[in-house]
Each structure stands twice: as C-alpha cells, then as structure tokens.
Structure 1
Amino acid sequence: MRYLPLALAVTVLLSACQPDTRSPATSNMTTAASTLPASALEEATVLDLQRKMSAGTLTSHALVQAYLDRIAAIDSAGPHLNAVIERNPDALKEADRLDGERKAGKVRGPLHGIPVLLKDNIDAFPMVNSAGSLALANHHPKNDAYLVRKLRAAGAVILGKTNLSEWANFRSTHSSSGWSGRGGQTKNPYVLDRSPCGSSAGTGSAIAANLATVGIGTETDGSIICPAAVAGLVGIKPTVGLISRDGIIPISFSQDTAGPMTRSVADAAALLTALDGPDTSDAASNERPTRAPIDYISHLNAEALKGARIGVVRKLMGFEPATDAVMEQAIAALKAAGATVVDAQIPTLGQWDDAESEVLKYEFKPGLNTYLARNATPIHSLAELIAYNQQHANTEMPHFAQELFEQSQAKGALNETAYINARDKTRRLAGPEGIDAALKAQQLDALVAPAMTTAWPIDLAHGDKFIGAGYGPAAAARYPSLTVPMGQVQGLPVGIVFMGTAWSEPRLIELGYAFEQATHARKPPQFLPTVVQPDRN
C-alpha cells in the first residue's frame, strides 16, 4: 500500500505558505509565514495556531490551504481514509476575511481563523447536508444550523463536512460504522482495516489524522464517544440542551446532541465554549440551570484530580482483557495524581436498554419528518425515504437493509402510553436511579470505565462486531460524558470515559484535563495496514 507518510504530508504547509497562483490572497502573506516548520499541522492545537497567527508567522488562509492539501494527500489519496465527504468551496474566502479582521485588530476569540470539520448531518451553507444518503445528495440547506452560526461568530472557518454512518447509524442493526451510500466506507487512521466506530466516524478519523484542527460530531448513544475513543481523541458528549440541535438531521430529541471531537482536552474546552448557549428554537435549552454560557477553558486545571473521588464501574469492563489492562493502568494514574478511586455500582445498569430502543424508534419518524418538511428536501417523509432505498437498493442497500427505518415507520404517535412509559423509564433508570444514585452513594465526582474496546475489523458483509462499551448510561440519562485517550493495544487506541450528573461538564473537563496531563497517552496515527487481533477471550 502506497501513501504519503505523515511527516511528508505535513510539508504541504510550506507550499501553502508560498505565493500561490490558485489564490491572489496568498501573495499577501508575510515572509515569516513562509518559513513555518513542516511539522506545524501534526498535533497542532488551537493555542499553538493562535500564537503563530498572533505573531504574524501564520495566516488562516495558509492554514486552511495546508489542511485542504493534506486532505487531498491523505484522505482522497494516500491511505484514502475517506473521512471528508465535502469541502467548503468558500473556506479560503472565509479565512481571508478573518485574516483581514485580525490585521485590523479584531480577534473574535480562541477559534479565530481555526478550521473546523462538521459531521454531514449538520446544516452549513453552501454545502450539502445528506446524513450520508444519496436521497439527500442534492439537499443544500439555505441556512446554517444554530451551532454553525455560533462557530462562525466565534471566528471559526468551516473547512468541510465529514462522512458518517448513514442516517447516524439508525438504519440497520447490521450496519458497518462509517459507511454511507454517498460517502462509502471511512477507515480508521491507526489501522486501516479497522472500524472508525460510531456514526461520527468521519469526524473521528479526520481529526485523528490532522485533517483539521477540531471537529464536530453528534451523538444519540455513543456516536461521539465511540469514534473519539478508537481514534485516540478527546470527545465530549454534552448534557442534552447545552448545544442547540437546530439544523441537525435528528434521530431522537430525547438524546441527540452535538459535541467536540479534538486531539486535546484544551481544544475541546475551547470548542465547547464557542458552542455553548441557549437557543429558543430548541426546547431542551429550557432545561438549562443558567442561561449564561460557560467559559470551559477556565476549567483546565492540571491539579483537579487531587482530592477527587472517582468511581470505577467494573460491570462496564470485562469485554476485552487487553483493554481492561490499559484501564488498570489508567486507574493507577488517577490514584498517582491524587484521586481516591473506588469501585462503584450503577444499580439499574442495563435495565433501560429495551425502553431506550423503543424511545428512539418512536422519536425518529416525527423528528425526521419535521426536519424534511422545514427544509424543502427532495425526500419529504420517512415513508418516502424507505421507498427511495427500495428503488435504489443497489447503491443504498448493497451491504445492509433498513429494518430500523421500517420499525420506526410502524410506530404510532408520541401520545401513546407505550412511548411515554418507555421515555420516562429510560430517563429515570439511567439518570436519577442510575448515575445519580451511584455518585451519591459514595460522594463521587465522576464515574469512569473504558469508553470502548479496541476497534474491530471492518466487515461490510456482516456489520460491526461490537462487544461492549462504557458510555451508554450517560447517553440514556441525557447526561454528559468525556473520553480521553488512555493508551493503546497493538497500535489501536483506547480511551477512558468520565461520566457525571446533568450539567457537570466543567467538572468532567477538570478531571479529564488532569488525567490527560498526567498521562499524555495520545499518539498520532501511523496508518498501519493491519495488526493482529487483540485478545477478546
């Protein structure tokens, strides 16, 4: 397999900083900017890049061009990750405008001039929003999602859209994570024949491979935490209502949320700060304890584990011995950093699974139909979508079917007793009687578990070989979770997930940052073709 090595691929930044006939604006770059080191993109943080732009040794234009060239070298060619489904044709123009603002003395904040990739279920003009489906391949929303408006207001450059598990992995129980009819199969940059996991697969693989500074994923149950963990990333699944869902193609208004996917906790905190804020169009915003946005950057405390009480949910372990061994090392690191670590029990663990499944099936149809009706899309309802897939089975269903679509279509209205009971049961058992009960029983700051097992081989014929994860309670409870890299197993990253009560993002960021600073476990991907399967017995 031939591809551009990581160090060589990064040298595209040098050419991007030289006068370039592709864009007249490039000729305005300073001499200092043209001497940017070839390693500038590899693991570059928001703070690193802001320092360079503030010093005049880098422009947003140069940065955007370098990422675009890197996408061409690594994603479209080379290892062919297939993570970026579309590039923003206006990205360089956006960068030029922000460079002009900086030159005039206006800097909007930490994200000023920073390139961001968005999952392809988020409205962002002028790009397509397709959920990976060929049925929406020509759907160009006229307006940005609320979170995209906030990103632009914060000075971010929308670099493009990432591939995803089609319809956010809510089409079939036999799907392959990271496959969509429109985008094909995304690869894991650490080991190319392994799953990128979860529906935010493209964002995970792209950010891990340094194709943008930061990215946005969405989660209903695991679709931020899972791809972040198997791609050696930090992922934050916020409390439902912290980030607006306006302009996001939905699965469940009970559990859907967007969130940051980054290479460091500091970058995740900067991104979450920009995204945080109430939105009157999203009813979940009304549940916020305060209307004021929070500065999550101020919670980057490397000493936060001192005196903290952490509960290990061992019933969320035992799926893979090699991952459990790394988790034991992480527990030792938590203790060494000053935390008291005890075994904890979520008393209701697993008791809400069937109810949660019912909630998602009930909510998908009305949520999707509402989105389609508001956006003048080519497909107008779930029923039409099912028919489209049947008519285009060769391209839309070559590997797996649409049984979840059909089960959702068969569900009744949201005033049915079966739905109301399932919704209330899920929230109660996972939240107050689950996570909250576990935290209260031993006065804990957070619960931890392995976020995921290692990534499994991609298998389009049979689907994902999912065997266990630790993120489920927080997703069902609508509470926050945060994954941080904790090590590797035969070149495959594994992460630890921190879970807390509703609106506890500041504390989780403190704990996750302290753990990250104590361990520095993230390693960049090496684009290995394959590895020996880790022991799962």
Structure 2
Amino acid sequence: MRPLALLLALTFALTACDREPAPAAEPAPPAAATALVPPTDFLFAEMDIADLQARMRAGELDSRTLTQAYLDRIAAIDKAGPQLNAIIEINPDALKEAALRDIERKGNAVRGPLHGIPILLKDNIDATPMVTSAGSLALQDFRPKTDAFLVRRLREAGAVVLGKTNLSEWANFRSTRSTSGWSARGGQTRNPYVLDRNPCGSSSGSAVAVSANLAAAAIGTETDGSILCPAAVNGLVGLKPTVGLVSRNGIVPISHSQDTAGPMTRSVADAALLLTVLAGRDVADAATTGSAWNVTLDYHARLRTDALKGARIGVLRSKFAIHPDAAMAMEAAIEVLREAGATVVDAEIPTDGQWDDAELELMLYEFKVGVERYLGNHDAPLKTLPQLIGFNQQYRTSEMPYFGQELFEMANGKGGLGDPAYIAARSLARRLAGPEGIDAALKAQKLDALIAPTTGPAWPTDYANGDRFPGAGYGAAAVAGYPSLTVPMGHSDGLPLGIVFMGTAWSEPRLIELGFAYEQLTRARKPPEYWPSLQKPARPAAN
C-alpha cells in the first residue's frame, strides 16, 4: 500500500476574478436501457495501428475520414450515451491536420507508421492550440505557446492530435483522499466496463478513451501508477518507460525523479510503435542526455512470439494478496508462461515498501520546485504554489467539493532541493527500490523480469470516502525510475485485470518481447460493454 490513500501520483490560472469559475457538470447516471453499447457498432472498433495503416495504404481509408469517425464516436458515447467523460477538449485543428496528412500520403510522403493516426494526449501535456490545465480551473484559459517535446515528435511522425483527455486533477497530487478520474475542469471519468466503477488515475481519460475506441491510442503520464493502474483496470496495455527515455519538457510535473510519459494502447504492438516515436534525447530534459541513456530505436522490431522460450521470470507472490481473483489469474498466467518455455520461479524484492516514506518526502519537495518552474517558464496566469492554494480556497465550491488540497499544503511547507532531508530521501528511495530492490531480485536468480498482478479490479467511485485502492504490484519500478509494462490478464466479474512485467533500467526491449509473447498466447483483452453497475440487466434474447 502506498503511504497515501491513493499515491498513484502521476506526473504528470486564470487570474483570480470576482466571479467563481463554472465547475464541470457531472454527467447524469446513464439509464440501464441505454447502458449497452455493442463494441461492434463502430467500423474501426479494436483496430490496431497496423490495421488502420493497411487500409490507408490500400486506399480504403484516409486520415480525415478516420478522424471524423473518432469525433463522431466521442459525441455518441463520451458526451452522450453512457457519457464516459474521458475527453476534456477536442483539438480544433484535428480535421485540418488529418487532411494535410492525406495530402502528404497522396504525394508519397508518408512519414512513418503513425502517419494520419489520431492520438489523444493527457491534459497535462502541452499541445497547441489547446489548453493545458492539469484539470484545474486555475489553468482553464492557459494555452502554452509551444508543443511539448513528445508532441513535436508525434506530429513530426505524422500523427494527428485528436484532443486532450481528462485526468485526476493535478495528476492526483492534491489530496490524500482524492477520487481518481475527477477534475474540476473535466468532471468525473467513468470506467467503460462498469460505469459506476472508478477508472483509476491519473491518466484516467487516456485509458478510458482508448479502451472505448475513441482514438487509436493515447499518451499518459506516470509518477507512481498513473499509466499502469488505469491501463490495467480499463483492459489496456500501458508502458511506463525508464525515466529519461521520454522527455518531460512541456509536461506539468510532480517529481523529476519519477515522472515520465508513455503509451496507452489496446496492444503491445501499438505501444512499441508509439514508444519508438516518443523516445529521444532533448537538451531541455537532462535526464534524456545522460551517459546512461540507452535507446532501441525500433521497439516494434522486438515483437517476437517465441520470446518466452528460455526466459527466466520471477513472480512476486506477496502481491497476490491484492485480490483473490487477481491471484487466480496470476496462477493461470504462470502456466501460460511455463508452457511457452519460460522458467518461472518465486521471487521477492527484499526492500519492498521500505521506500514509502522517502518517496512521499521527495515528491513533496520536487512538486513544489517543479510546478513553480513550469508555471514560470510557461508564463502561466498563476506562478506559485501558494497562489494555486489560494485559488482553490477562493473557489472551493468548484475546486474542492469532494476533497481538499492536503498535499499542496504539505508541499508548500518544504524547502529547496538543497535541503539535507530531501537529498537523503531521494537517495534512500531510489536505492531501496532500484539497486537494492528490483536489481537485487533480478540478480539473485538471474532473471529477465519480475511479474505481479498490476492491481485489483476497479472499485466503486465514492466521493464520500475517496479511492478504495486495493494495492499494486508496480511500485518498485515507479520509485526506481525503471520500466514497467502492464498487459491484460483476465477479468473479475467483468472488470479487467492486468499483469505487470518489470525490469531494470533501459530494459524496455526485453519487457516488450515478453509482454507481446504473453499477449499473443492469451488475447485476454475484451472490449467494454458499458454496464451501469455489477447488477447486470438481463441480456436480450438472441434472435
């Protein structure tokens, strides 16, 4: 369990005025009669990027048609129908961008595998001409002048930026008792499998949108679990890279020690395609320019169906206590791995959980310094953490109807990054989770990777009590800054479960190999059916 009620913190102002900003309207609960939206009612349902590209190469599809189809689906099931509330803003230039990609294709100037593919971005990532709000009304009119580094790479690769996704406000780093998937600007995002269940956070909108086929793929951000958890409980692949593989330049920060962006997709193949584009050196992010930086330029080339043969994998059985259904699914997964030729042995992280207090301490220090640097460098309307705290207090009816800002207040009491307490906490957390944690477990039995249940099934959204987070298997990788990959593993009462693969720093190629091979053997992802609750209505009789 994390040191906070939900320390899934993931990376990742309007000047004060007399009139309180309008809060996001909470969508009405969907009627049971309209709760089921068949996954086959959408022409491009469950198609991966390679499928879409093949159709465009054959002249059966163009980017503008595809982009319009996703926009229509957003209108039909995100803003109406089951009202998923995953999209916080549509890119007003999306159709224009798509039309330009079509012109390039006709001129034989295809930029790569993402050419003309609509992608969504979490609303803490800068992308012109849209707002970057981190879900807060304090930034609801803030439009950064330039794209984040990763957005420039996506656009250079030919991707179409479809829009922004809702998130847990300030990437779930505002309160100790937050409700994931809620922001004052965007309202509450719903889990598409069971609508009264939580989508997890903070990349909740990105996960829900991709799971519901509102875009081909999305980008999320993570500090501790905010790619992995929403991906797992929404039936997706989520890849959190090694810190420093993907630039954080142009992303609202929490912790420079742990923050990273990464792909959220319906398949490992799509995640590999996206990571190939996202990874890159950026002089504005020192973590990407260090001597340890090691990148495989084509992660898609690492897709091997036989990658489990001869692999040595350690299973973290202590994490089976997260949920009994997750434990049963893990036992089945272990059998799949063994039948495919892997050696699976019990393993443990000797320092598991010993970093919790140090992790929280370093995040409090780094958030205060990082968010003020971002706000100042981007000429945001509000520039300091005390100003953000004051804004929330002034407009508490809109900003704090369900939970407060305890983490903001705790961070505001911290000093600079030269404080001995911060230096000690950062060193301790990274050492316990990395060299003495994951690395020690891998070396003890000469393992390629560690596996565990990513988390349990989604819990009911509960504003009175906040998140009922069941625990997670990915914490060590988040704190160490190491990569982790979640892949669909099974279901619990129709709610998705994921398996997480973790490795040492820069081990993305091996994790992708292992995760892809497992995915191809199990094909565990099932599209959502949009039940209003677990008391499922009777299905209509077959004709």
Root-mean-square deviation (CA, aligned residues, Å) is: 1.3
CA distance in 2, matches of 1:136, 1:436: 40
- Code of the residue aligned with 1:168 in structure 2: it is A
Q: Which residue of 1 aligns with 2:254?
A: 251
Give 1:62 deviation, angstroms: 0.2
SS at match of 1:158: strand
- 1:18 maps to which residue? none
| Structure possessing the higher relative contact order (Cα contacts under 8 Å, 6 or more residues apart) | 2
**Residue of structure 2 equivalent to 1:420:** 423
1:229 counterpart residue number: 232
In structure 1, the partner of 2:302 is: 299
Q: Which residue of 2 aligns with 1:342?
A: 345
Tell me what 2:275 maps to: 272
Q: Contact (CA 8 Å) 2:322, 2:455: kept in 1 or not?
A: no
Contact 1:45–1:213 under 8 Å retained in 2: yes
SS in structure 1 at match of 2:401: coil
Deviation at 1:112, TM superposition (A): 0.3
Matched, 1:190 2:196: no
CA deviations 1:175-232 (Å, max 9, x no partner) are 0000000000000000100010020000000000000000000000000000000000
Give the SS at the match of 2:499. strand
Per-residue Cα deviation, 1:210-266 (whole angstroms, up to 9, x for no partner) = 000000000000000000000000000000000000000000011000000000000
In the other structure, the counterpart of 2:370 is: 367
Residue pair 1:452, 1:469 contacting (<8 A) in 2 also: yes
Q: 5 Å matches for 1:450-489?
A: 450-489=453-492
Question: Structure 2 matches for 1:35-184, cutoff 5 A?
Answer: 38=43, 41-184=44-187
Q: What letter matches 2:316 in structure 1?
A: V
Give the counterpart letter for 1:335 in structure 2. Answer: R
* Residue identity opposite 2:200 in structure 1: C
Separation in 1 of the partners of 2:154 and 2:360?
Answer: 32
Counterpart of 1:321? 324
Supply the distance in 2 between the matched residues of 1:104 and 1:185 (Cα, whole angstroms). Answer: 43
The question of whether the paired residues in 1 share the 8 Å contact of 2:117 and 2:216 is answered with: yes
In the TM superposition, residue 317 of structure 1 has moved relative to its aligned partner by 1.9
* Residue number in structure 2 paired with 1:398: 401
Provide the residue aligned with 1:506 in structure 2.
Answer: 509
AA aligned opposite 1:339: A
The alignment's TM-score, normalised by the length of structure 2, stands at: 0.92
Alignment match, 1:312 = 315
Displacement of 1:288 in angstroms is: 5.5
Deviation at 1:439, TM superposition (A): 0.2
Which region of structure 1 is more displaced relative to structure 2, 374-383 or 448-457? 374-383
| Partners of 1:168 and 1:199 within 8 A in 2 | yes
Q: What is the CA–CA distance in structure 2 between the aligned matches of 1:106 and 1:112, rounded to whole Å? A: 10
The alpha-carbon distance between structure 1 residues 200 and 292, as it changes in their structure 2 partners (threshold 3 A), is closer
Tell me the secondary structure at the aligned position of residue 502 of structure 1.
Answer: coil
Choose which of 429, 434, 438 in structure 2 pairs with 1:431.
434
2:413 is the counterpart of 1:410: yes
Gaps of 5+ in 2: 1-30, 537-543
SS at match of 1:287: coil
Residue equivalent to 2:15: none
* Contact 1:310 1:444 (C-alpha < 8 Å) held by counterparts: yes
1:290 is displaced (CA, Å) by 4.7
Q: CA deviation at 1:387?
A: 0.2
Amino acid across the alignment from 1:524: P
2:214 aligned with 1:205, yes or no?
no
Cα distance between partner residues in 2 of 1:473 and 1:225: 12
What is the CA–CA distance in structure 1 between the aligned matches of 2:258 and 2:291, rounded to whole Å? 15
Report the equivalent of 1:29: none
The whole-number CA distance in structure 1 between the counterparts of 2:356 and 2:38 is: 45
The number of residues matched between the two structures is: 505
In 2, are the aligned partners of 1:9 and 1:70 still within 8 Å (CA)?
no
Q: Which amino acid aligns with 2:115?
A: H
The alignment-based identity, stated in percent, is: 65
Residues 356 and 423, structure 1, Cα contact 8 Å, conserved in 2: yes
Deviation at 1:6, TM superposition (A): 3.6
What is the distance in 1 between the residues matched to 2:103 and 2:515?
Answer: 36
1:111–1:154: 8 Å Cα contact kept in structure 2? yes
Amino acid aligned to 1:360 = M
Structure 1 residue 159: Cα displacement: 0.2
Question: Does the CA-based 8 Å contact 1:190-1:527 persist in structure 2?
Answer: yes
Matched letter for residue 47 of structure 2 = A
Letter aligned with residue 420 of structure 1: I
Give me the whole-angstrom Cα distance separating, in 1, the residues matched to 2:452 and 2:202.
21
